[in-house]
Amino acid sequence: MKNKDRTLVNKTCKYCGKDFVVEKFRRGLFCNRSCANNYRYKDQKTPNAICSNCGDRFYMKQSQLKNVKTPCCSMRCSANIKKTIYTGSKNPNYKGKQHDHDGYRLYVPQASTINFGRMKLHTAVCCEIFGVKNIKMKKFHIHHRDCDVENNTPGNLAILSVSDHKWIHKQFGNATLWAFMHNKIDLESLCEWSDDKERAKRILPLSISNQSINDLGIIDNETLIDRSSK
């Protein structure tokens, strides 16, 4: 390894302007650590934000300031702001909300033959129809046949495999499926438009009104949990 040049040289501190002596091989921009820190954070001495809670002025990084709607000078002020913003129905954990973040109506637990807990309403309807406690949503999808997520009647819901559910929406689109459910288009015409007529003929008429646990057993080679077996 090449020997370092330890010759002493005179330099001027970049922050305070004081002359100091340092070995030549060192960078030597500042006379001490305090000046180095003060130079690095010198912008923090100038407040550029106003606390949304207490009104005090404080410094915040520009990268943070441009992304924050309610800047706060401390964790306590931040907590106080959240108490006012996320109250009642505005709270993500609000128990009385009627819809989830995807727009699906939620089931509010009431007197029922099965204790569902809190879940999406269309899932609760399927559980009630088939008499099961849980449908493995990782394996099954519940399809709204007319694509109206507010219409959770049994005749409008069908339990499909993940691939069938994606395929039917990609194949026909929401407007066409809505027209089919409102008798604007007949089944035969819709199947003729499809690139897989047999698949369309099998999926389109399905609803939980005409499906059974035995029928669902062939979906993705998975079966539903029969309440009577527990």
pLDDT digit string (tens) for 29-64? 888 888 888 887 776 667 888 998 888 888 888 788
Burial of 158 per CB tally in 10 Å (0-12, 13-18, 19+): buried
Residue 149 and residue 201 in one domain = yes
Q: Per the domain annotation, does 122 fall within a domain?
A: no
Residue 140 and residue 204 in one domain = yes
Q: What totals of helices (H) and strands (E) does the chain contain, helices first? A: 8, 8
Residue 141 and residue 214 in one domain = yes
Q: What is the CB-side half-sphere exposure of residue 218 using CA atoms within 13 A?
A: 5
pLDDT for residue 225 is more than 50: no
Q: Per the domain annotation, does 110 fall within a domain?
A: no
Mean pLDDT of the 124-141 span: 74
Residue 51 and residue 17 in one domain = no
Percentage of residues in the chain having pLDDT higher than 70? 75
Q: How far apart are CA 107 and CA 128, in angstroms?
A: 12
Residue 136 and residue 71 in one domain = no
Q: How far apart are CA 196 and CA 57, in angstroms?
A: 65
**Ordered alpha helix ranges (H), the chain:** 33-40, 62-65, 75-85, 121-130, 162-181, 187-193, 197-203, 213-216
Residue 14 and residue 33 in one domain = yes
Q: How many domains does the chain have?
A: 3
Q: Which of 42-51, 57-66, 147-156, 217-226 reaches the highest mean pLDDT?
A: 147-156
Residue 14 and residue 52 in one domain = no
Q: Per the domain annotation, does 95 fall within a domain?
A: no
Q: Which of 204, 212, 136 is nearest to 167 (CA)?
A: 204
What residue numbers bound the domain in which 16 lies?
A: 9-40
Q: Per the domain annotation, does 115 fall within a domain?
A: no
Residue 36 and residue 51 in one domain = no
pLDDT confidence tier of residue 156, bands split at 50, 70 and 90:
very high
Q: Per the domain annotation, does 21 fall within a domain?
A: yes
Q: Per the domain annotation, does 143 fall within a domain?
A: yes
From 15-19, 124-128, 170-174, 181-185, the region with the lowest mean pLDDT: 124-128
Residue 212 and residue 187 in one domain = yes
Residue 17 and residue 80 in one domain = no
Q: Per the domain annotation, does 126 fall within a domain?
A: no
Average pLDDT, the chain: 79
Residue 136 and residue 222 in one domain = yes
Q: Per the domain annotation, does 66 fall within a domain?
A: yes
Residue labelled with tokens 């907590």: 79
pLDDT for residue 215 is more than 70: no
Residue 141 and residue 176 in one domain = yes
